């Protein structure tokens, strides 16, 4: 029967912590019997890890791939509690702790290739033997990124995409134009992106649907076991919206949409800021051209900046 009846971390009811803020909590230790030479510790840890596989040569008969990995430590702090006389009698003990998050750490993030995670861990040991441990995950919103670097991007944005199409069945040709307009290009996590899109249909068919999405493009930087450095870019949807437009032949339609950004989410960054991952974003409008296998895609680069 263990000497420790229970160990509990009591943390503030904060859904999302901000980089640069602080956290106060308590470690509650319930002892069933007396404990000699106790070591009570609380740690704050934040780290990133990534891994992916690449085929060395797809033309080889046997499957052979190389794993690329990398990791980073964003925060590592420890609080050791002094126990007078090196002895704790049976009962309940409370240990208060305080940690500050560094201002430049990235947001909590998870993908099929990499992750950035944060947690608080409480441990009770005696004579180098771990008797009890509890770990609690934290959700953190990074605020790294220099607003001054993005000042030139505060103006409104207009991006136009055009796709030509030929219909051999009726010996005609035409085009579809997407014109996406934003009042600004810098947004904060949790903010709403409002955009206007003009759809010009210069074909003899209906344009039925347009899909809008915010894409997160992550550039991962990893190393093989031989020390070879390689980068991999991966794209994923952050949020998505579909419009049924039914734009008639040789007509134009204007639609206004809104996409709500999640919180937390990584801010637009550089490799110097996030060490193993670089984040950037695009607002992407996509529509299948009528009666063809072609697709028109309009991409508007946007910036996710530090929260105010």
Tens digit of each residue's pLDDT (9 = 90 or more) over 208-267: 889 999 999 999 999 999 999 999 999 999 999 998 888 888 889 999 999 999 989 999
**What average pLDDT does the segment 2-13 reach?**
93
> Are 116 and 192 in the same domain?
no
Indicate whether 151 pLDDT > 60: no
Indicate whether 33 pLDDT > 90: yes
**What average pLDDT does the segment 160-178 reach?**
78
> Are 90 and 218 in the same domain?
no
**What average pLDDT does the segment 133-146 reach?**
88
Q: Which pLDDT value is given to residue 53? A: 94
Owning domain of residue 235: 147-304
> Are 121 and 262 in the same domain?
no
Number of separate domains in the chain: 2
Indicate whether 146 pLDDT > 90: no
**What average pLDDT does the segment 78-83 reach?**
94
> Are 94 and 198 in the same domain?
no
Question: Could you say which of 123, 141, 159 is where a domain stops?
Answer: 141
> Are 70 and 219 in the same domain?
no
Rounded CA gap, 222 and 254, in Å?
44
Question: What is the pTM assigned to this prediction?
Answer: 0.86
The confidence band for 203, taking pLDDT boundaries of 50, 70 and 90, is: confident
> Are 112 and 234 in the same domain?
no
> Are 77 and 119 in the same domain?
yes
Indicate whether 91 pLDDT > 60: yes
Question: Could you say which of 81, 106, 141 is where a domain stops?
Answer: 141
The confidence band for 59, taking pLDDT boundaries of 50, 70 and 90, is: low
> Are 151 and 61 in the same domain?
no
Rounded CA gap, 197 and 63, in Å?
47
> Are 118 and 198 in the same domain?
no
Indicate whether 308 pLDDT > 60: no
Residues with Cβ within 8 Å of 46's Cβ and at least 6 positions away in sequence, in order, are 73, 74, 75, 76, 101, 105, 116, 117, 118, 119, 140
pLDDT in tens, 41-52: 999 999 999 999
Q: Which pLDDT value is given to residue 273? A: 77
Q: Roughly how many angstroms between the first and final C-alpha of the chain, as a whole number?
A: 52
**CATH for 286:** 2.60.40.640
Cα separations (Å) of 219 from 60, 223, 265, 271, 280? 28, 14, 15, 9, 9
Question: Could you say which of 83, 115, 141 is where a domain stops?
Answer: 141
> Are 85 and 229 in the same domain?
no
> Are 211 and 109 in the same domain?
no
For 220, other C-beta atoms within 10 Å of its C-beta total 22
**What average pLDDT does the segment 160-185 reach?**
82
Q: Does the bond joining 274 to the residue before it have cis omega, within 30 degrees of 0?
A: no
């Amino acid at each position: 029967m263990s000497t420790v009846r229970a160990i509990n971390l009591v943390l503030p009811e904060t859904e999302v912590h901000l980089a640069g803020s602080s956290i106060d909590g308590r470690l509650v230790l319930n002892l069933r019997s007396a404990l000699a030479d106790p070591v009570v510790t609380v740690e704050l840890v934040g780290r990133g890890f990534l891994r992916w596989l690449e085929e060395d040569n797809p033309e080889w008969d046997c499957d052979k791939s190389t794993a690329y990995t990398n990791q980073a430590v964003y925060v590592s702090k420890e609080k050791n509690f002094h126990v007078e006389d090196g002895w704790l009698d049976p009962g309940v003990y409370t240990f208060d702790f305080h940690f500050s998050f560094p201002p430049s750490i990235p947001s909590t993030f998870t993908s099929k290739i990499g992750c950035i995670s944060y947690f608080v861990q409480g441990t009770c040991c005696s004579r180098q033997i771990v008797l009890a441990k509890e770990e609690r995950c934290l959700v953190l919103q990074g605020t790294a990124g220099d607003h001054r670097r993005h000042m030139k991007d505060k103006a409104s944005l207009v991006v136009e995409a055009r796709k030509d199409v030929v219909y051999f069945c009726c010996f005609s040709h035409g085009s579809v134009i997407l014109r996406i307009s934003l009042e600004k290009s810098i947004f904060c996590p949790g903010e709403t992106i409002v955009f206007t899109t003009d759809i010009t249909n210069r074909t003899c068919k209906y344009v039925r649907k347009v899909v809008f999405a915010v894409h997160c493009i992550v550039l991962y930087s990893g190393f093989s076991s031989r020390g070879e450095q390689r980068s991999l870019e991966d794209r994923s949807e952050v949020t998505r919206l579909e419009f049924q437009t039914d734009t008639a032949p040789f007509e134009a339609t204007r639609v206004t949409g809104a996409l709500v950004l999640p919180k937390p989410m990584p801010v637009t960054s550089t490799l110097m800021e996030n060490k193993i991952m670089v984040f950037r974003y695009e607002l992407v409008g996509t529509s299948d051209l009528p009666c063809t296998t072609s697709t028109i895609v309009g991409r508007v680069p946007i910036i996710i900046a530090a929260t105010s």
